[in-house]
Structure 1
C-alpha cells in the first residue's frame, strides 16, 4: 500500500451526531476528501447554537472568504476550504461561537493583508486575540528555521495561557493539515510529521483530547515512518481472524457476568493503534507478538461505586496479574483522565487488559478539556480537565519567565509534554503528579519555586533522604528548607522535570549577574585608581553619555558587562576620566605593561571568577587571568602553557594576585606512587584527612605490578596547606614518590 493510500485510509469523517461521540478507527474510516460547505457547517451548528450566533459564524465565513479570495492551497483547492474544515472539527467538539469565528479567520492576519485591528473592530477583541494567538511570527527575521519555529510556538503557548481556545484551534488546524498533507513535498511531510509527534500530539494528550491525539499520531506515523507502519499494519491484518474470535468470547463472558449481577453497562473490545504498537515495541523493547497477544476491553457503567463492583467481578471471572492494577479514579492522571486499569489472565492463558470507567469519565477520556464546553455537568472539581490544564498553563508561564530564550523554552516544554507519571503525597495529603524518575528536588520545585530554591534536606515517609533520591508511587515527601540556602548547580545533573531545570538555571543566572556586577565594580575601580579616581567621583553627565553611547540601561548593566568579560575595564576607565589617547568602546586594551596594577583575588567572587582546570592554581601560586566573554575571568598559573599559546591575545590578559587573606577551598591534583599492598589507599586517604583536606576524586593506575600511581583531586586552602599534606604523605612507608600535577 502506498504512503498516499495509507494517509487516505486514516482520514476521519465527522461525527454524524454530536450527542453520541464514536471511537475513531483510523483504518476503517473512509477518505478525507470530502469538502465541507458553509451550509453544512451552519446546519450542524444549529444543533447546539442559537440562530444569532450561527449568523455570526456565517458572517465570519463571508469575511474570511473575501480575505482569502484568489488564494489556493498546495492541493489546488480554494484556501477557504481549510478554515471551514477547521471550524467543522471544533464544531464536533461543540465549541462556542467565538472560537468557531476565530477558526474561520485563523489565517487572515498571517496570510492576508487584514490587520488585527480590523478583526477586532468587526468581531470583537476576544476573537482578534484568538486569531493573533494562532498566527505565526512572520514579521521578524530569525537566524534559523528552528529559532523561528520555537518563537512562534512560544507565542502560541503563551497565548494559550490567556485563553485555552488558542491551542484547540491550533490542534484542529494541525489535524486538518495532517489529513491533507499528501500535497506537500516529502521533506515537508517528514518535517511537519516530526513536529506533530514532538509537539502537537503530546499537547493533545496533555489536555486529554484523546481522539485528536490518536489521529495526529497515526497520520504523522504514516508519513514519517511509512514503511514501519505498513509492516505493522500487515502483521495486524494477518492475526485479525483469530483475534475476532477471542474478543467475542471475552466480551460474551463479561456481558454475562454483568447481567447476572443486574449491572447495566457497555462492554467493547478496543483495537490497538499502529503508532501505539510501534511506540511500545520501541520504548519497552517488546516483540510484536507480545503486544498482539494482549487483548484490551473497556467496560462503561453509570456510577463510580459500580466501577469498583465490576472490578471485583472481573477479578473473580479471570485471575488478576499481580502489580498490574492502577486506580486512576482515586488518583487521576495529570490531564484529568480517570479509570480503573487491571490486567487478567484470560482463556487459554491469553493476557487481557480491562479499563472500567463511568460514562462521564469516558467523555473526558475522549474530549479532555473540550468536555468543559461539551458536558458542563457531572465533572468532579478535583479531576476537571479545565482545572488541571490551568495548573499546567501556570507552569508554562513560570518556565517562560525563567527560560533564557524561545529555543530553550521549547525544549523545556517538550520535556514537560512526555510525562510517565509517579504520584507522591505532601505531608498534608495533597497528591502531586511528577515525571517518572523525579527526585526530591523536582518535588520541591513542583510545590513552589521558592521551596525548591531553599531546600536543603527531605524526609520520605518520615525518614531522612538525600535530595537526589528518586521518588516512587505512594511516598509522602516533606521538604526541609533553610533560610539563605540556594540551588546547587549539581542539581542539574539529576533533576528531570522542566520546571525544576528552568528554575535552577534562572536562579543561577541571577546569582551570576549579581556577582558579575559586584566584581565588575571592583575591576572598574581598580582601573580608575590608576587615574586617582573611583566611581563615586565620576562626572554624572560623562557617565550618562557613556551609558547612552554603549547602549546600556544603567550603571549596573555596565558593571555586569565588565564582570562577565564582555567589556574591558581599562577602556571604560579611560572614557570615564577623559584620559588622553582614549580608544573607542570595543577596541583592544593595551598590553598589561601599560597597566601594572594587579587585581586581588579572594576566592569568594563566585561564578564570574573560575580557576583553570589545566593548571589548577591555589593561593601562593603566581597567577595571571584571562578574560572570557560571558564567563568573566579564568585564573591560570603564570607558567601555564595554555597562556603561552595566547601571545596573539595579550589584550585578553589581566594581571591578578592573591588577596592577603583568600577564603574558601581550591582544588588541586597530586600524584602518589605507592607499593601494592592491601589497604594502601585507605592509609593514604587517612593521612590526607588528618590535615583537613577533602578528597574530591581519586584515579588508580597500576604501573609494573609492584607499584600503583594514585592521582588525588584535593581541596586545599593554600600552597602551604598542600605542602603540609605532601610532607605528611612522605612519612607513609608505602609511598615511594609524590608530586603535584600541574598539567592536565
Structure 2
C-alpha cells in the first residue's frame, strides 16, 4: 500500500502546485474513517480508495478528483456525514463524494426496468459533474482488478454489469484504454476458457512466426524515415476480448482472423498524418473499405485519427492508426484531457470535447415522456455506436451510428421528415428504407403528405431518437385503434347482459371508475388495461355476474365484422388467453392465428388481410384442440397413466399418433381438447411432474397452415 508521500510524489510529477496539505488531510481522514474495516481479500479496506486515487493520478486529474477518490466510500461505509466532509474539505469535494455515493447505490444489475430507471439517474448525476463518473469508473476498475476474492456468483454479476454498462461508458467518455481493460477483466470472469484459448493461440503464433510486431514496426519506421517524416511507431496485439468478439461477429476461427495486430503512428503535425498515410499506402496495399478519416470528421467524443488497414509483411493484415500527439492525448484519456496539466498549469486541449454535451443531447433527444426501458435501449445504442457521416442534398453533414438507415437519417433531420418518409435515394438511386448507409453518401428523403410511421420501422431504425419518435407516433395511432376496439368490446359486453353501450352509459362507467372520460375508458378497454366485466360491473353490478356463463363459440372472438365467420388455424392452434390476429381468406372467412405464429411472416406484404382480434372474455368451452409432443418411457401402464392424468384435468384426448418407437421410449403426438391458456398450463404441469414423461412440448406445424386464395370479403 502506498502512503501519502508516494501519492503526492506522483501528483507533483504533472502538477507541482498541488495542495499537499489538503491531500495529506484527506489521506489521514480516510484512513481514520476506514480503520478496522477489511476487504474480501482480508486487506485493510483503505487500500482500495488509495488505489483508486492512484489510477486517477495516472490520468493527471486535479486535486479535487483525487481527494474525492480517497474519500469516496466515507459517507456510505463509515460514520462520516456529508456535513463532516464539507466542513473539512469544502462544498465542491463534499458534493463530488456524495455524487459517487449515489452512483454506488444505484443497483444497475437488477431487473431491466429498475436498471433503466437507475441508468437515467446515472446520466442525471453525470451531467452535473463528470468527475463523479471518472471516480466511479476508477473505482470499478480497481474492484475488477481484485475481483478474485469475491464469491463466484458475485464475480459473475459484477463482470456482466461491467461488460454491459461501465466498459462502454468508459469508451464513450473517450477512455478507450479503460474500456479495453474493463472488458478484458470481465471476459476473464465470464469466459476464462475462451480468453485462455486466445492467449494460447497467440503464444503458438509467436513461436511459429517470431516477433511479428517488432518486424512490422521496424518496416514502418524505415518507410517513414525514407519519406523524411518524424514520428513514433508503436505496435501491439489486440486484446483477447476484442479478438473473441471479432471471431463471434464474423463467425471465424482464430486462424482465419487477419487483423489481430494494431499499430499507431504519432506524428508532429496534422499534415504529417496525411503524408504518413501516403507513405504507408505506397509501401503496402490498402484493404478496400477499411479506411476512415476521423481527423476531417471527428467522433462526437473528440476522437481524431486516421484508420487504415493494409496487407503487411507476409500478407498479414494490420490496422494502422495515425494521429498527432495532441490527438493521441484525447484518444488515450478522453474526458480526462479536460484536466490536463503541463508544467503545473491547467491547459486546454483544443481537440477535447466535453462528453457532458453528449449526455445533454441524449436527454434532449429522448424527451421527458420516454419510457425507462426505451431510454435504456437508446442509451446503450448511443454508447456502443461507431459513426458514419452522410450528406443532405444541400451538403449538410448528418452523423449516424454504424448501421444507420434512411429512416434514422430522416429523423436526424427533423421528426416531421421522419414521420412523412416514404422512400429514399442514396447517391441519386432509389433504395429500400432498410439500407445500411455508408460514409460519404448523399441521402435524399422522399416524403408524402398523410404518411405515418409503420411498426416495422422500429426494427429498421438503430438510433434512439428515431425509435423513440416512432414509438410515440405509434402510441398515438394505437390509441385511436384501441378506442375503436374498445367500443366493439363494450358493445358485446353490454349485449351479453341485455343492455346497450350508449355514450351516456360509457361516460357513467368512466366516472364510476375514476377515468378521464369515455375515450380513456374505451382506450384502456381496447388495450386490455381494463376488462369488459369491470366496465359492466361499474353500472350493473348484479347483471355483471352473468358474464361468468360459458362463451358462445360463434362469438368466441371479438373484432369480426358482421357476417364474418372464423376458425382457428391448425398451424399454431391458438387458445383463449393468447394474443391473436386474423387473416382473411375468400370463401373461408377469417382464420385466427396466434400472434407469434411463423406463418404470419408470409402475409407481411398484405396488410389489407390482417384483422385485429381479441378473445371474448368469460368461460370458454373445452373445444380448443392443442397437440402435445410427448416422449414417455416404454414401460407397462405408462401410456394409460398419461391418459388418466389428462382426464383428471377435465380434458379430452381426441387423437393420439405414435411418431417414434424405441426400445426405451415412445414419442407421440396427443391431441387434447381444452378451454384456455390456464387449462393448457395446468395439463402441462401435471404431465411434466410425472417421472415417466421425459419431455413435453406444444407441437406447432407451419405445414398445416391454410393455403387458400387471397383475402377480401
TM-score, normalised to structure 2, is 0.69
Superposition pairs of residues 287-436 of structure 1, within 5 angstroms? 287-291=253-257, 296-374=262-340, 379=349, 384-386=352-354, 390-391=357-358, 394-395=361-362, 398-399=365-366, 401=368, 404-406=371-373, 409-419=375-385, 421-436=387-402
Aligned-residue offset at 1:366 = 0.9
Provide the C-alpha distance between the structure 2 equivalents of 1:161 and 1:248, rounded to a whole number of angstroms. Answer: 43
Q: Which residue is 1:561 aligned to? A: 524
CA offsets 1:502-528 (integer angstroms, 9 cap, x no match) = 443343234324543565578669988
Residues in 2 aligned to 1:572 and 1:350: alpha-carbon distance in whole angstroms: 71
Is the 2:580–2:614 contact (alpha carbons within 8 Å) kept by the matching residues of 1?
Answer: yes
- Decide which of 96, 100, 106 is 1:131's aligned counterpart: 100
1:662 corresponds in structure 2 to: none
Structure 1: 5+ residue stretches without partners: 1-34, 604-609, 650-698, 702-708, 719-744
Q: Is the 8 A contact 1:53 1:97 kept in 2?
A: yes
User: What does residue range 269-288 of structure 1 map to in structure 2 within 5 Å?
Assistant: 269-288=235-254
With over 3 angstroms needed to count, the CA separation of the structure-2 counterparts of 1:600 and 1:489, relative to structure 1, is closer
Q: What RMSD in Å do the two structures reach over aligned CA positions?
A: 4.8
CA contact (8 A) 2:300 2:358 kept: no
Separation in 1, partners of 2:367, 2:587: 42
Shift of 1:371: 1.8
Give me the whole-angstrom Cα distance separating, in 2, the residues matched to 1:613 and 1:455.
27
Q: Secondary structure at the match of 1:714?
A: coil
> Does residue 203 of structure 1 match 2:164?
no
Count of aligned positions: 598
Task: Note closer, same or farther for the CA distance 1:562–1:279 as it changes in structure 2 (3 Å cut).
Answer: closer
Q: How much does 1:178 deviate?
A: 0.7
Identify which of 615, 634, 637 aligns with 2:614: 634
Q: Does the aligned pair in 2 maintain the 1:403–1:502 contact within 8 Å?
A: yes
**Could you give the per-residue CA deviations for residues 663-717 of structure 1, whole angstroms, max 9, x where no partner exists?**
xxxxxxxxxxxxxxxxxxxxxxxxxxxxxxxxxxxx999xxxxxxx99256342x
Is the alpha carbon distance of 1:397 and 1:50 closer, same or farther for their aligned partners in structure 2, counting shifts above 3 Å?
Answer: farther
Q: Which residue of 2 aligns with 1:734?
A: none
Deviations 1:576-609 (A, max 9, x none): x5x57387xxx88455999x9x999779xxxxxx
Work out whether residues 291 and 309 of structure 2, in 8 Å CA contact, stay in contact via their aligned partners in 1. yes
Partner SS for 2:707: strand
* Structure 1 residues 245 and 623: CA distance shift in structure 2, 3 A: closer
Mapped to 2, the partners of 1:51 and 1:377 lie a distance apart of 14
Alpha-carbon distance in structure 1 between the residues aligned to 2:147 and 2:72: 19
Distance change in 2, residues 1:646/1:449 (3 Å):
farther
What do residues 548-585 of structure 1 show as CA deviations (whole Å, max 9, x unaligned)? xxxx677765444333233234544553x5x57387xx
- Give secondary structure in 1 for the equivalent of 2:53: helix
Q: Deviations over 1:319-339 (max 9, x none)?
A: 444444332222334543322
3-state secondary structure, aligned to 1:189: helix
Question: Does the 8 A contact of 1:565 with 1:632 survive in 2?
Answer: no
Residue 136 of structure 1 contacts residue 152 of structure 1 at CA under 8 Å; is this kept in 2?
A: no
Deviation, 1:183, is: 0.3
Of the candidates 702, 707, 713, which is equivalent to residue 711 of structure 1?
707
Q: Deviation at 1:360? A: 1.2
**Contact 1:137–1:152 under 8 Å retained in 2:** yes
SS at match of 2:185: helix
**Superposed, which structure 2 residues align to 1:126-525 within 5 Å?**
126-127=95-96, 130-137=99-106, 148-240=114-206, 246-291=212-257, 296-374=262-340, 379=349, 384-386=352-354, 390-391=357-358, 394-395=361-362, 398-399=365-366, 401=368, 404-406=371-373, 409-419=375-385, 421-517=387-483, 520=486
CA drift of 1:180 comes to: 0.5
Q: Distance in 1 between matches of 2:274 and 2:490?
A: 72
8 Å CA contact 1:565–1:633 kept in 2: the answer is no
Question: Which residue pairs with 1:694 in the alignment?
Answer: none
Superposed CA deviations along residues 294-346 of structure 1, whole A, max 9, x for unmatched, are 65432211111111112222333344444443322223345433222333444
Decide whether aligned partners of structure 1 residues 212 and 648 sit closer, same or farther in structure 2, where only a CA change above 3 A counts.
closer
C-alpha distance in structure 2 between counterparts of 1:477 and 1:615, whole Å: 37
Which of 542, 551, 557 matches 1:581?
542
1:82 equivalenced with 2:28 (yes/no): no
Q: CA deviation at 1:40?
A: 3.3
Q: CA deviation at 1:270?
A: 2.8
Distance 1:531 1:283, change over 3 A: closer
> Alpha-carbon deviation of 1:283?
2.7
Alpha carbons 1:137, 1:148 under 8 Å: kept: no
- In the alignment, what sits opposite 2:692? none
Give the TM-score, by structure 1 length. 0.67
Cα distance, 1:245 vs structure 2: 5.6
Q: Secondary structure at the match of 1:343?
A: strand
Q: Indicate how the Cα distance of structure 1 residues 490 and 60 shifts in structure 2: closer, same or farther if over 3 A, else same.
A: same
What is the alpha-carbon distance in structure 2 between the residues aligned to residue 271 and residue 256 of structure 1?
Answer: 21
Aligned to 2:659: none
Seen in structure 2, the aligned counterparts of structure 1 residues 567 and 292 have a Cα distance that, compared at 3 Å, is closer
Return closer, same or farther for 1:192/1:294 CA change in 2, 3 Å cut-off: closer
CA change 1:69–1:515 in 2 (3 A) is farther
Q: Distance in 1 between matches of 2:14 and 2:364?
A: 34
Report if aligned partners of 1:205, 1:335 keep a CA contact under 8 Å in 2: no
Question: Gaps (5+ residues) in structure 2?
Answer: 563-577, 595-610, 626-672, 679-701
Q: CA deviation at 1:436?
A: 3.6
What is the DSSP-based 3-state SS (H/G/I as helix, E as strand, rest coil) of the residue aligned with 2:354? helix
Distance 1:437 1:343, change over 3 A: closer
Structure 1 pair 647–317 and aligned structure 2 pair: CA distance change class (3 A): closer
What's the offset of the Cα at 1:176?
0.6
Q: Deviations over 1:355-406 (max 9, x none)?
A: 22111111121112222332786755xx64426x623652366458565444
